[in-house]
Amino acid sequence: MRGNDYIKFVNEYIDKAWSTQEDKIREIAVLLAETIEKKNNVFVFGCSHAGIIAEEVFYRTGGLAVINPIFFPGFMLNTRPITMTSQLERLPGLGKIILDQNHVKEGDLLILHSVSGRNTVPVDMALEAQKMGVKTVCITNLNYSNAVTSRHPSGKRLFEVCDYVIDNCGDVGDAAITLDGLAEKIGPTSTAVGTALVNALIIESVEKMIADGIVPPVFMSANLNGGDEHNAKIFAEYKDNIFYM
């Protein structure tokens, strides 16, 4: 059954992405750790399904409390009609508005997830962040992005305007499985690979903070004894770096 192939492909793509991006991810992890140590801010953004990465890493057991998702209502998967998300992410200028309204400032770090990297809003955000002195990291699919043209007025794709690029090593179009009798490929891999990579990035950054003598602001499960008390201390200490409360 092809479901077995899908699991195999996802594991292979995770292994390939990690083995080819490991040094780069460790470099970014140092930047992430230093950003937190300096009490600067960390933000994550993606449109539509790419935004699942932002949901994965905030307010999460075993995650860093100071990672702030940027959620814009028109890009969330509860938007109706859902096709509006595709229209909105192509609008010039909207990325700047979103960035301006989300506490982002010089010295901060912005992680952008866009699989194709071609749409306007993430590129706008990266370009605006650079003007502000904000470091940018993108998680993208270079095979896919190199196969398409940009929709941004500059003609640039996301990987061309970010300080650091993490490649998820996926297929063009994201879906990985071909079935007899079906013209379209099925089984997207970007969410599974992207969440694995971003969690690996966080783990590496936490290791760096520990090595630097910093107690990392890592959440405990609120369902464990002492979890609420532990998390409350983090909220109090990092109240100026948490914007989702």
Nearest-CA neighbor of 192 among 115, 121, 122? 115
Q: Which residues contact 150 (CB under 8 A, 6 or more apart)?
A: 118, 123, 156, 157
What is the mean predicted confidence (pLDDT) over 68-86?
96
pLDDT digits (tens, 9 = 90+) for 177-222: 999 999 999 999 999 999 999 999 999 999 999 999 999 999 999 9
Domain boundaries, given as residue ranges, for the chain: 2-220
Give the rounded distance of the alpha carbon of 195 from its chain centre. Answer: 8
Burial of 115 per CB tally in 10 Å (0-12, 13-18, 19+): buried
Residue 243 tokens read as 């914007």
SS3 state of residue 230? helix
Residue-wise pLDDT tens digits, 29-75: 999 999 999 999 999 999 999 999 999 999 999 999 999 999 999 99
Cα R_g (the chain), whole angstroms: 18
Tokens of 237: 């200490």
- Evaluate whether the domain defined by 2-220 bears CATH number 3.40.50.620: no
Query: Are the C-beta atoms of 138 and 158 separated by less than 8 Å?
Result: yes
32 vs 209: CA distance, rounded Å: 9
Q: How many other C-beta atoms can be found within 10 angstroms of the C-beta atom of residue 151? A: 17
* Whether pLDDT at 1 is above 80: no
